[in-house]
Amino acid sequence: MASVATRRWLDASVACNFLGIGILLAAVPRYVKEELGGSTAAVGTATTIFFAAALLTRPVVGRVMDRIGRRPFLVWPLLAMALLAIGMEFAHAVWAVILVRLLQGAFGSTYYTACAVVATDLAPPEQRASAVARLSLMIYLGFAFGPFIGEFLFDRGSQWPWLAAAALHVLALVASTRLPETLRERTGHEAPRPSMRQLQRVVLRPGIAQLCAGLGYSCVVAFLPSYSREIGIGSSGVLFFTYACSALLVRVFSGRLADRFGYVAVAIPGLFVFACGHLLMAVAWAEWVPFPAIAMLGIGFGAVFPALTALAVARAPDEQRGQVLGVFLSFNDLGNAIAGPAVGAIADAAGFRWGYGVPAIVATVGLFVAITLREPRAASPAAAAA
């Protein structure tokens, strides 16, 4: 019963936190574009710099988490996130927004890494993909409603999204205080740190595949408010909602499918659908086309992320789970961080549709990387590095 209660408090904390983040996903691009007069590249950078700080914080946090425990990293980052959300009210230049978002990324990635490790700590090996998928459900509940709320609040004053996000981070903090420590006590000598070669064998190819998906996901987040207006739809809230609902739908069962049939067996078709969705977004010839296209993006990413995350966790020794998961998630962050400035600059030069054409190409590369992964079907939760 204790583990059930723990999961519920974890779900509540994650849902509140990501609802706040979802509000900012829609509000920050509009603030930079409409209030500060930023370019598409500036919008992309201000949005995706959130993920850049995670490149440095996740591996370090994961290692420390394996030493001192998970619980501290579930509490104090949320206090920082609440204060930084309020700080957006005082960011009156693009560089100031970028700085705030960079700090939000550092604390947000610390919190999410701890949540992912706790979720896999609580799950038996044969249910790890399901545990990651459950955690993702809470994230996408936030992404389903957060951007819609963010657009609504921003229309009534740019200060309201920041205040709402801060309040939600505080609620997440309250829920996190109810979570126990899940780091198991060690019975023997401390395990040696994995060498760089061992880390590469465990996470390199799954990480590259996730990097390719993460870049595409970040393009959805960064450019959708501008894209929806360029294509003639208006507010991006309904597109964000469609994306999040499709991701929610597939994550209800994608984790169980991965646990049963193998992580790679779910990741490969997920990346294929993801690439096709981006292609449709890029070539959309009518206002209705982005809706099935973005649903494909939600379905694809909703299948890929839990499967590849569980694959990385399955390859990690229990006593090094935090560090391995931190390194794996850094690949996703790298894709997120590249997307904003690089793809944004391409879109500025070649047209806004390339904000989705480029990730279509990159996702195809990730698909071919995923095809090279191998695992025994019956042993996916405990598979050795392929």
pLDDT over threshold 90, residue 222: no
Q: Write down the pLDDT at residue 380.
A: 41
84: Cβ–Cβ under 8 A, 6 or more apart, which residues? 100, 103, 104, 107
Quick count: other Cβ atoms within 10 Å of Cβ 131?
24
* 185: confidence class by pLDDT, cuts 50, 70, 90: low
What is the spatial distance between Cα 333 and Cα 210, in angstroms, rounded to a whole number?
A: 9
What is the spatial distance between Cα 383 and Cα 207, in angstroms, rounded to a whole number?
A: 16
List phi, psi (to 5°) of 383: -65, 145
Write the CATH number of the domain with boundaries 2-181+196-382.
1.20.1250.20
pLDDT over threshold 90, residue 173: yes
pLDDT digits (tens, 9 = 90+) for 332-368: 878 877 777 788 788 888 887 888 889 999 999 999 9
Amino acid at 184: R
Q: Write down the pLDDT at residue 199.
A: 61
126 or 100, greater pLDDT:
100
Q: Write down the pLDDT at residue 192.
A: 54
Nearest to 61 by CA among 327, 331, 380: 327
Label residue 102 exposed, middle or buried (CB < 10 Å: 0-12, 13-18, 19+): middle
Q: What proportions of the chain, in percent to the nearest 5, are helix, strand and coil?
A: 85, 0, 15
Q: Write down the pLDDT at residue 377.
A: 43
By percentage, how much of the chain surpasses pLDDT 90? 25
CA distances from 11 to 7, 19, 157 (A): 6, 12, 30
Long-range contacts of 236-240 (CB under 8 A, 24+ apart): 236/26, 236/147, 236/151, 237/26, 237/147, 237/148, 237/150, 237/151, 237/152, 238/148, 239/290, 239/291, 239/294, 240/22, 240/25, 240/26, 240/143, 240/144, 240/146, 240/147, 240/148
* 379: confidence class by pLDDT, cuts 50, 70, 90: very low
Nearest to 165 by CA among 72, 111, 84: 84
Report domain extents, the chain.
2-181+196-382
Q: What number is the average pLDDT over the span 175-201?
A: 67
* 1: confidence class by pLDDT, cuts 50, 70, 90: very low
pLDDT digits (tens, 9 = 90+) for 64-93: 887 888 888 999 999 999 999 999 999 889
* 193: confidence class by pLDDT, cuts 50, 70, 90: low
List phi, psi (to 5°) of 226: -75, -40
pLDDT over threshold 60, residue 191: no
Mean pLDDT value across the chain: 82
Q: Write down the pLDDT at residue 311.
A: 83
Long-range contacts of 2-6 (CB under 8 A, 24+ apart): 2/180, 3/122, 6/118, 6/122, 6/179, 6/180, 6/182
Which single residue is written with the structure tokens 């944004």? 344
pLDDT over threshold 80, residue 56: no
Quick count: other Cβ atoms within 10 Å of Cβ 297?
33
10-19, 233-242, 300-309, 373-382: least confidently modelled range:
373-382
Residue 351, token pair as written in the block: 């047209």
* 383: confidence class by pLDDT, cuts 50, 70, 90: very low
109-113, 203-207, 299-303: least confidently modelled range:
203-207
203 or 377, greater pLDDT:
203
Amino acid at 84: L
Secondary structure of residue 56 in the 3-state scheme: helix
* Kind plus residue range of the DSSP H or E element containing 274: helix 263-283
pLDDT digits (tens, 9 = 90+) for 2-44: 577 888 889 899 999 999 998 998 888 888 888 888 877 788 7
User: What's the distance, CA 215 to chain centroid?
Assistant: 10
Residue-wise DSSP of 125-179: GGGHHHHHHHHHHHHHHHHHHHHHHHHHHHTT-THHHHHHHHHHHHHHHHHHTTP
pLDDT digits (tens, 9 = 90+) for 116-140: 888 888 877 777 777 777 887 787 7
pTM for this entry: 0.71
pLDDT over threshold 50, residue 231: yes
Which single residue is written with the structure tokens 């709402």? 164
222: left (phi over 0), alpha (psi -120 to 50) or beta: alpha
Q: Write down the pLDDT at residue 194.
A: 55
189: left (phi over 0), alpha (psi -120 to 50) or beta: beta
